[in-house]
Structure 1
Amino acid sequence: MSINAAFIASDIEYVTRMLSYMKGSPIYHTWRMQLYTNPDRLQHPAELDRVELIMIEEKLLPAFKARLAAGGGQLDGSNYMTKHGVVPIIVLVDDRRELAEAELYKYQSVSSLLHQLQQRFERVKSGEGKKLLRKQEQLRTIAVSSVLEQCGKTMMALHLSVLLASKGYRVFYCNLEKWNATDRLLTQLKHLGRGSYSDLLYLVKSNKSQASAWLSEHAYQDPHLQFHTLRAFEHEADRAQLSSDDAKELLNTIAASGLYDFVIVDMPAGLDNWTITVLSECDMHYAVLLPQPLWLHKHDLAMKDAEREYPEQMSELSSKRWHVLNEPYGCCPLDSTIVFHEYLPYVEEWQVGEPKLLGSVSYRAAIERCAQHLLYAGEKAG
């Protein structure tokens, strides 16, 4: 998909940094930038007729609106109206504050900024441009998924949970994998005698109104890592026979409890009716891939099959998906048209022994970059 964008910015150093990043990434072939260093460079609003997205620094916005008005250009809220359709206007703000619908924080990683810009564009393109974006103070349910097994989902989900908890957020780590092996990383879980997903599932089916009080009492909070979680399903059959509707109920019960700011969902591998149904309940999800050409090819095949089988759901999920490439170093060269929003580093010691949670500084730094876009509307102190 190609996006024609107009960028109105007087900060040349900032523009240079963005363009430099784009030239070194796959997004270079899908974005077309039209640069104006100030609104006076815009001779007539007709120059924007073929533009699909407008980015502008907040300080230049009044002059830009005046320029449009003088030339007969039409605004509809935070959108510019052309003869070809609606063009979203995204305002880049300097200061950290609660952001309005059409605002993005200027000083964030370029990969994060471009992803959020593309999300805004896709919402407008799909007819959802006038719907209010989810408020930052609302609970955020975030999934970590992959098409195939052994992509590093659990390590990413656990590190993400630790990071958000360290910022002062109330976090619940929800493992919905078929084989929940997190007791190898969270060793105290195996010694707990109560508080499993089986218990919560029974409560949801029998007396859902008591779920919040039950979670408050029985969810385990790791004293060091700070996030909350439950033990794995106590009975194999409970997880083996868990329907997508039951999984949705579990997830929504945790989310609606009022106890957590974030629910991080560790998903089972695959793209089928079960996983797609659960992913649709999440505000966003990270799709984790490996760089080997065979893995990327399998990912591509699985995506195309899911898009044929579930076109509406997959279209909705595309605007909430971040692609994350795991282990880009020490592997074969990357040859992919996928736009990756972040890269998780190769951790050699994890390949020869038991992976150790928080055992790699570079990995933790990469997770922090992945999570930055969640915190821009006012990061809480850790």
Structure 2
Amino acid sequence: MLRLVMAVPDSQYASKLSRFLRESEPSWRIAAFTQEIALLRHLEEAPGTELLLLHSSFLPAIRAKADAGALRGRIVALAERPGAGEGLPEVAMYQPMSRLLTELTEHMHGDARKSGEAAGGAPLLTVFSAAGGCGKTALALNIARQAGERGYRVFYLNLEALNATDLLFGTGEADSLSRLLYALRTRPEDRATEELERLRRSEGRLRAEYFDAPDHPGERLAMTAEQLRELIGALRADGRYDLIVADADSGCGDWHLELLNLSARVVWMVMDDAQSLRKAEKLARYWMGKLPMDAGSVSFVLNKFSGAMKNEWRLPGKGPAGVLPYVPQWKAMAGLEGWFASPAFSGSVDRLLDEWGWPHRFSPELPAEGGGPYASFAAVGRRAR
């Protein structure tokens, strides 16, 4: 649960906003206040809030707190006019609800993208597992598709030694990745860029670009950690993408570890199966101290969840960071569209993208007034003033 504390002196506004946020983001725990004394008491008794959304009238009280320094970087001003936040990040008070929610989500989750961008270019999200058969490709494809639908420019990078995505996308240039890796190593930068432009493919149903699947596993099996760095660096430096989704082969080699360390988010998939959990536990212990698990960038996600765990959870955290339902139809699925036809699975992926910091980038044009979930705060603002 992500914790948001909001404080605004207008009780009608506070009630309307908190109700809309709870309905729109059930994974957020929201506390709303209209008086300074109640706000300060709550912050003393319940530390650890991810974000404080404060009307400008509450800022002096917060800054006077003895431990105000601990809140630095977590305060966003709810501003009635530009500049009312006194230098803090601002969210306009009177605007359509959905647009306000998008801005709040950016502040709540922005660190996930910034960590990747700070590394130089598009952030990398890697879907990984210690054991085969956990559903990595199904999840990676759905993440790429739904991120594309949210307005992100996505590259889907399949790194499996035995890559069967030619069943989904069709056959093409089977040695495309080998050619690109060779170009990155031996040719001037402009020639390598030309090769990348020639080899990438676009798939409208996926909402992403990709490389053709190889016929043989040799190019993936021979890949080194240095070659992987060059490949990810080229995709990031290209400037064409907002997100790279890597579909990684199961394994514990040097390039696997390098891939996970290059990632802004690692989605480590497991199943409620004794063998799957045990393999993940052993690999997590083997890589202890080599992965930024304590930084929160590794999320253990349980796939094919049946409603209650039968095995003991011994991986980092009190339990899985997310669960995905079992979709039996995929066993006989060959076409691409079928992989996106499960509402339950798509809904679970949507929730994970929200939690990991990739919200919808675009909001529809909304009316200035009216009821329903897309109502604006404009009318409330006029009454308040």
Match of 2:211 in 1: 230
1:40 counterpart = 2:21: no
The equivalences for 1:95-114 within 5 A come to 107=101
Distance 1:44 1:265, change over 3 A: closer
Relative to the length of structure 1, the TM-score reads 0.69
Structure with the bigger RCO (C-alpha within 8 Å, sep 6+) is 2
1:157 CA displacement: 0.8
Secondary structure at 1:185's aligned position in 2?
Answer: helix
Q: Deviations over 1:30-59 (max 9, x none)?
A: xxx9997743125679x74x8652345423
Structure 1: gaps of 5 or more residues = 24-32, 81-86, 95-99, 121-131
Q: Deviations over 1:116-151 (max 9, x none)?
A: 59x79xxxxxxxxxxx76669952221111121111
| Equivalent-residue separation in structure 2 for 1:165 and 1:20 (angstroms) | 23
1:202 CA displacement: 1.2
Equivalent of 1:274, from 255, 268, 277? 255
Instruction: Give me the identity figure in percent.
Output: 19
Equivalent of 2:140, from 148, 151, 157? 157
Q: Deviations over 1:268-303 (max 9, x none)?
A: 213453312111112222121212344334322321
| Equivalent-residue separation in structure 2 for 1:232 and 1:138 (angstroms) | 25
1:349 counterpart = 2:329: yes
Distance 1:221 1:177, change over 3 A: same
Distance 1:195 1:260, change over 3 A: farther
**Retained in 2: the 8 A contact 1:212–1:254?**
no
Q: CA RMSD in A?
A: 4.4
**Retained in 2: the 8 A contact 1:160–1:367?**
yes
1:314 CA displacement: 1.6
1:301 counterpart = 2:282: yes
Match of 1:279, as an amino acid? L
Aligned residue-pair number: 333
Relative to the length of structure 2, the TM-score reads 0.69
Structure 2: gaps of 5 or more residues = 8-13, 80-86, 92-98, 365-385
Distance 1:38 1:143, change over 3 A: farther
Match of 1:369 in 2: 351
Match of 1:327 in 2: 304
The equivalences for 1:166-177 within 5 A come to 166-177=149-160
1:202 counterpart = 2:182: yes
1:374 CA displacement: 4.0
The equivalences for 1:84-95 within 5 A come to 89-91=74-76
| Equivalent-residue separation in structure 2 for 1:198 and 1:265 (angstroms) | 17
Q: Deviations over 1:159-199 (max 9, x none)?
A: 2222223344322111112221211232x1x2x24661111
Secondary structure at 2:340's aligned position in 1?
Answer: coil
Distance 1:245 1:102, change over 3 A: farther
Match of 1:184 in 2: 167
Match of 1:84 in 2: none
